[in-house]
Structure 1
Amino acid sequence: MPNANEDTPSALNQVQRRAVTELLRVAPVADDLACRFQEAGFRLALVGGSVRDALLGRLGNDLDFTTDARPQDILGIVRPWADSVWDVGIAFGTVGAQKSGYQIEITTYRSEAYDRTSRKPEVSYGDSIEDDLVRRDFTVNAMAVALPEKEFIDPHNGLEDLAAKVLRTPGTPEASFSDDPLRMMRAARFSAQLDFEVAPEVVRAMTEMSERIEIVSAERVRDELNKLLLSRHPRTGLALLVDSGLAARVLPELPALRLESDEHHRHKDVYEHSLTVLEQAIALESEGPDLVLRLAALLHDIGKPRTRRFEKDGRVSFHHHEVVGAKMTKKRMTALKYSNELVRDVSRLVELHLRFHGYGDGEWTDSAVRRYVRDAGPLLARLHKLTRSDCTTRNKRKAAALSRTYDGLEERIEQLQQQEQLDAIRPDLDGNEIQQILGIGPGPVIGKAYAHLLELRLEHGPMEHDDAVKALTEWWADQS
């Protein structure tokens, strides 16, 4: 999009043309809904992100509307019309619906504000769209299109800011962030999603008011962080969180990396290295944004500050930082209310991210390769990507050598996969067979026998049935 300062009329005309095209596409559903509100004596407008995305030429099937109708009135209008309706957000004035493949949210004109001790916004309803728009987070989200007449409403010059690719607040940023402190994180998120610059006065307010984020619930902070990480340019948003001081309050392990020298002196600090690893991991994604991989890439070295040691020869070491980092990852993600499954997977990747570096020039035994696969389990594909991303050396020869070595490991894994079904490694005897051979019932000893046979399987590969029985009976004799 052209810079508005260079050619504002041209830029504005361009975004307006895009909007017309997008709005014509959704008009059958939007206009039909608007006519129903009009017949009931209410007003309806497409609003916020939907208008912004229409102007950018990328309006999807998620449509946001605002209205002077109260939630119960919205339900009365929408229920006979929509394919399905849900009211989980009705306490906040929002009714959801699906119609002809469109996901629709309709919200009563409203305002949100926090007091100094509240973690949840207080909702009050308004009567004019102008009052609703002034309470929106940013000017590019404070535009509306009244329906069905298609009147463009832009009291805060959001169209100009959109053309200039700048994020500003409709009122003062201090008032906006006081109403909802999460908007400070949204500024970072939108800068990453849209590749927009955040206005200096907004950055200044974020920095001065960063402590206000602490009254926002962990769940809302987590959700905003996820949206940032899954955006097209997460590095931009993360840097803004760190520079403004917000990260020190919601993800303090990230800015802590800024002070730590990387042991290979490849970058000025581990913070820059971690952001580079994140970008390189994103480049390896093949099926869309992967939150598990991106979190692991961002957090893989957070154990370094706690494990830093200055050696006698002048080097800096971070022994076992992957183990410490895995524990720190689990603690931080738990505090941010991530699911147990996500916490488990990300912390496991952090714990395993250095394992490959013991591979050297490919001297691992088949047993070591089996253990690598077994320990990674279903995370193996992500571990491949994380390990490759962790190479940020500027020495092209060294980078090429590391890549070739990892190619070799993946080839060996593939060969063993074909021979032994590595992704389903199990002992050569199951629990029932163990009980039958030893002549005992269920109990702890069966688990010990199973673990012994699994160890043999990892060490030597598959065994014939008779060999497995012999190994089990010999072990049982030693136990006796």
Structure 2
Amino acid sequence: FINRIMRNICQMETKEVIVPAQGKIHLTSEEQRFFQDLKQVVEKKGCGTELRVAGGWVRDKLLGLLSTDIDIALDNMMGEPFARLVMESIPSIRGLGTIKANPQASKHLETACARIHGLDIDFVNLRSEDYCEDSRIPSMQIGTPSEDAHRRDLTINSLFYNIHKDTIEDFTGNGLQDLFSRVARTPLPPKQTFLDDPLRVLRTIRFAARYDLAIAEEIHEAALDPEIVEALCKKVSRERISKEYQLMMKGNNQIKALKLLNDYNLLNVIFLLPENMQNLLADGYKLTLELVPEQSPTDSFYLYTAAILSQYHNAQEFSVPKKRSFYPLFEHICCESLKLSNNDSKVISGILSNLSTAMEVLRSQDLVKTAFMIRETKEYWRLVLKLGEVMLGTQGLKESLTEFITQSNLQTFYLEKPIVDGGEVKRVVGVNGPDIGKMLQAAISWQILNRNGTKEQLVEFLIQNKHNITSSS
């Protein structure tokens, strides 16, 4: 079906739709210089290439947004040969790079890249695609502008800027209208295009959130089709799913992205649970509706991800086997389902593992427990308090505890080093093995309660209380 549509498009190529720019694209001096250089390359080398800028740069320029990433689409050759022609004609250009085709990372064709006049440039040929049933990785051929436009995820990303004609080309016939009407629409029937590459469902959500787009009704129907969800799980790697999720959460309008993921039952795909595990993700999603995004996009990503997993924060109740032991379910999801980096997994797991303590100290304002929580969560202690307050359902607790922390000068307690280390405790107090850990915990507690205390005073305390400390469980 999809191939028949593409053949029909190809036959209609002579009827291409060229639309003058609405609110004409305004080129910077760097862009004008670069485009003029490219036209001179075509003229001098006699390669007959019609040069277009594709996709995101066109979309963002029409919206009045800054964009320095430019994809140059070529109609009669591959990216690297043309890039070498550019380098031969503009000797000042250095450092041409080639990104090899890597379909698993959504790089289906080899791309030549360079930095020219302060702009990040990719050179790539126009392409058409053919998909097989069990893979989202298409076979590629050099295509026409219309074929290239119709194989893209959304009409707003299918627009071209023709460098020679200084015009916007809208080969789908809907791109400009959808862009200015703020509508997410697929160039081809959504169910088929989602089945071909199910990752497009997630990309649709990401762009809808980023640009605050209304989603076309036919996309709603296709996204809710269980066949699409099955294809997403079967054909797309966990790494690619995670990348789209992280781009959503580190962008703007995270709440809209999460709502769409929830509406389309895709949270279950992103936060893939082990078989037979109780599904509490919907309860976690409800908490995100009560959270205000952080100023830092990365902190928002940590906060919302922890909120979705918050119902699994009790590691004793929710854990999974790991070799000869068990580890918390939330760690499993961060590492295996979301495929997060070690640092991101550590931060989110730290928030969740300290959530019970956060809820306790929000109510009790216990000085020692609060300081230990800050020591564990480091600079993210405010995130765990914010999530804890929402879970308790009582406003004002975080503000009150934050004031208490400030008055106690504990905001950066995680940066303070213990007055004594394990070697000193072993040598001076005379303990070994697990007792060293108990002594260090007691030393930190003493340090919290005696902010101006000296090392000598601490050692004296440890020696005097050695029996009570080491005999504690």
Q: Which of the five TM-score ranges fits, normalised by the shorter chain?
A: 0.7 to 0.9
Long gaps (5+) in structure 1: 1-12, 262-268, 305-319, 394-398
User: Following the alignment from structure 2 to structure 1, what is the Cα–Cα distance between the partners of residues 270 and 253?
Assistant: 20
Give 1:226's aligned amino acid: Q
Pairing 1:83-122 to 2, within 5 Å after superposition: 83-90=94-101, 92-118=109-135, 121-122=137-138
Matched residue, 1:465: 455
User: Following the alignment from structure 2 to structure 1, what is the Cα–Cα distance between the partners of residues 355 and 42?
Assistant: 56
Give 2:286's aligned amino acid: H
Residue 406 of structure 1 deviates from its aligned partner by 2.7
Distance 1:16 1:351, change over 3 A: same
Q: Higher mean Cα deviation, 293-302 or 162-171?
A: 293-302
Q: Higher mean Cα deviation, 364-373 or 136-145?
A: 364-373
Distance 1:192 1:29, change over 3 A: same
Matched residue, 1:73: 81
Matched residue, 1:411: 403
User: Following the alignment from structure 2 to structure 1, what is the Cα–Cα distance between the partners of residues 356 and 188?
Assistant: 49
Q: Higher mean Cα deviation, 460-469 or 339-348?
A: 460-469
Matched residue, 1:299: 308
Matched residue, 2:6: none
Matched residue, 1:7: none
1:296–1:346 Cα contact (<8 Å) kept: yes
Matched residue, 1:53: 60
User: Following the alignment from structure 1 to structure 2, what is the Cα–Cα distance between the partners of residues 259 and 71?
Assistant: 47
2:71–2:122 Cα contact (<8 Å) kept: yes
Distance 1:239 1:365, change over 3 A: closer
Alignment match of 1:343 (pick from 325, 345, 359): 345
- What's the secondary structure of 1:195's corresponding residue? coil
Matched residue, 1:332: 333
User: Following the alignment from structure 1 to structure 2, what is the Cα–Cα distance between the partners of residues 193 and 323?
Assistant: 37
Q: TM-score, normalised by structure 1?
A: 0.76
Residue 213 of structure 1 deviates from its aligned partner by 0.6
User: Following the alignment from structure 1 to structure 2, what is the Cα–Cα distance between the partners of residues 322 and 149?
Assistant: 66
Residue 45 of structure 1 deviates from its aligned partner by 0.8
- Identity of matched residues, %: 22
Long gaps (5+) in structure 2: 1-18, 103-108, 320-326
Pairing 1:58-457 to 2, within 5 Å after superposition: 58-68=65-75, 69-79=77-87, 81=90, 82-90=93-101, 92-118=109-135, 121-157=137-173, 158-208=175-225, 209-214=228-233, 215-251=235-271, 270=283, 273-277=286-290, 280-282=291-293, 285-288=294-297, 290-296=299-305, 298-303=307-312, 320=314, 324=318, 327-335=328-336, 336-359=338-361, 363-387=364-388, 402-403=395-396, 405-417=397-409, 422-434=413-425, 436-437=427-428, 447=437, 449-457=439-447
Q: Deviations over 1:58-87 (max 9, x none)?
A: 142122221132133034135454453332
User: Following the alignment from structure 1 to structure 2, what is the Cα–Cα distance between the partners of residues 436 and 272?
Assistant: 51
Matched residue, 1:32: 37
Give 2:237's aligned amino acid: S
Residue 142 of structure 1 deviates from its aligned partner by 1.1
Residue 112 of structure 1 deviates from its aligned partner by 4.2
Size of the aligned set, in residue pairs, is 427
- What's the secondary structure of 1:374's corresponding residue? helix
User: Following the alignment from structure 1 to structure 2, what is the Cα–Cα distance between the partners of residues 421 and 223?
Assistant: 32
1:296–1:347 Cα contact (<8 Å) kept: no
- What's the secondary structure of 2:123's corresponding residue? strand
1:173–1:202 Cα contact (<8 Å) kept: yes
User: Following the alignment from structure 2 to structure 1, what is the Cα–Cα distance between the partners of residues 449 and 317?
Assistant: 24
RMSD, matched Cα: 3.7
Give 2:400's aligned amino acid: G
Matched residue, 1:311: none
Matched residue, 1:8: none
Residue 448 of structure 1 deviates from its aligned partner by 5.4
Q: Higher mean Cα deviation, 295-304 or 59-68?
A: 295-304
- What's the secondary structure of 1:96's corresponding residue? strand
Q: Deviations over 1:249-308 (max 9, x none)?
A: 33357xx9x9979xxxxxxx836632313xx331xx23455354343454253439xxxx
Give 1:145's aligned amino acid: Y
Q: Deviations over 1:227-246 (max 9, x none)?
A: 22223222323332333333
Residue 370 of structure 1 deviates from its aligned partner by 1.9
- What's the secondary structure of 2:408's corresponding residue? helix
1:31–1:148 Cα contact (<8 Å) kept: no
Q: TM-score, normalised by structure 2?
A: 0.77
Residue 217 of structure 1 deviates from its aligned partner by 1.0
Residue 139 of structure 1 deviates from its aligned partner by 1.2
Q: Higher mean Cα deviation, 66-75 or 50-59?
A: 66-75
Give 1:276's aligned amino acid: L
- What's the secondary structure of 1:178's corresponding residue? helix
